Structure 1
């Protein structure tokens, strides 16, 4: 059985709730990624911040990225979609498809241990499963 832990990218960096959006954007650029998990002081997952969030919800809204805090983008009562580290890849694929997410934080207990991206799936799983996921995530909005 292949699990999320088997295909995830481990050691994920977080944007912290007290960081500015400008700090988070710099971190995304340094890491060459389009999304960062948002972590609180307790290092628990509080949400996800994407490059699209920065463009649409900060820049296009006329907010100052040097003044706007990442905490404004934490999910609050709405739980961030995650997968357990030892959950089977079939559950992982179903979760990504159901929630239309290209990146899925991987947790072990309450601790963030990695992230599975669409690229991780493409590198790790057989072509038919990859094709099904890409097709499911490519729905017109």
Structure 2
């Protein structure tokens, strides 16, 4: 049984919901990632911010990323997976919510992220094709 911990990219880092989007962009550039899990004051997941969110929901609308916080853009219920979850549970979570990145949690702490690139390295061609079809399908 392959687990989430075995396919994740380790060392993911939170960004506080109170941090501004320009700081989030700087951290993304430094870590060479396109998304960051957002934490509340108790270091609990409250969302994910992506580079696309910053561009489309802030910059393109004429807002100043040094004045908009990560928490301002977090919407909906944050999705995550336990580190011990089987890869089928990972796929179910990502496919059913049509998400491309999934935080991995162990003992209430962020331990990694699973992205499409991680899946591509660990799934069969059929599994990967099914994932792409379900995540990118229009509803």
Q: Same fold (TM over 0.5)?
A: yes
SS at match of 2:29: helix
Determine the C-alpha separation between the residues in 2 that align with 1:140 and 1:60.
24
1:132 maps to what in 2? 130
Q: Which runs of 5+ in 1 are unaligned?
A: none
Task: Write out per-residue CA displacement over residues 76-123 of structure 1, whole angstroms, 9 at most, x where no aligned residue.
Answer: xx4201111111111111111110000011112322111111110111
Aligned residues: 139
RMSD of aligned Cα (Å):
1.5
Task: Write out per-residue CA displacement over residues 11-46 of structure 1, whole angstroms, 9 at most, x where no aligned residue.
Answer: 101221221100001111222221111023332211
Q: Does 1:4 align with 2:15?
A: no
Determine the C-alpha separation between the residues in 2 that align with 1:130 and 1:100.
14
1:115 maps to what in 2? 113
1:45 and 1:111 in contact (8 A); partners too: no
User: TM-score, normalised to structure 1's length?
Assistant: 0.90
User: TM-score, normalised to structure 2's length?
Assistant: 0.91
SS at match of 1:60: helix
1:106 maps to what in 2? 104
Which segments of structure 1 move beyond 3 Å, counting only runs of 4 or more? none
Determine the C-alpha separation between the residues in 2 that align with 1:51 and 1:26.
10
Matches within 5 A, 1:25-44: 25-44=25-44
Q: Which runs of 5+ in 2 are unaligned?
A: none
Determine the C-alpha separation between the residues in 2 that align with 1:48 and 1:127.
28
Q: Decide which of 81, 86, 89 is 2:87's aligned counterpart.
A: 89
Determine the C-alpha separation between the residues in 2 that align with 1:45 and 1:80.
7
